[in-house]
Amino acid sequence: MRGYRVPKVSRTFDVVIVAARYVKSGKQLACGQAFVRRGPIWGDLRLLDRNDLIRRLEERQTVVTGRPAEIPGEFVVFNHVRLGRDNDTLALLAGEKQSTGDSLGLPLF
């Protein structure tokens, strides 16, 4: 939209996950559909596997769950994604809830 500026809050995170696919057991993320920020702009929708998301979190990138808003480059953010521990394995968790396995609370694709 002409003359509309994307809010600064949309520039404070690096990855926005919009949908998830889990392995057959349902406890681990297989991959997620996500938008990845490249400098000042957002790239197209990409598939990121579980290891790539864990690597990005370990590199201190800000990963959130959400959905695109009406304006390109703007997102409605649901929760921040963090790494948790499930026994001896890493778990991807969104929000403050504890869970066994990965739990992002996103629609499936």
Tens digit of each residue's pLDDT (9 = 90 or more) over 58-91: 999 999 999 998 888 889 999 999 998 877 888 9
pLDDT (tens digit per residue) in 20-62: 999 998 889 999 999 999 888 889 999 999 999 999 999 999 9
In the DSSP assignment, the letter for residue 5 is -
pTM (predicted TM-score): 0.88
Bridge partners, 37 (sequence order): 42
Angle at the Cα of 35 from the Cα atoms of 104 and 107, rounded to 5 degrees: 35
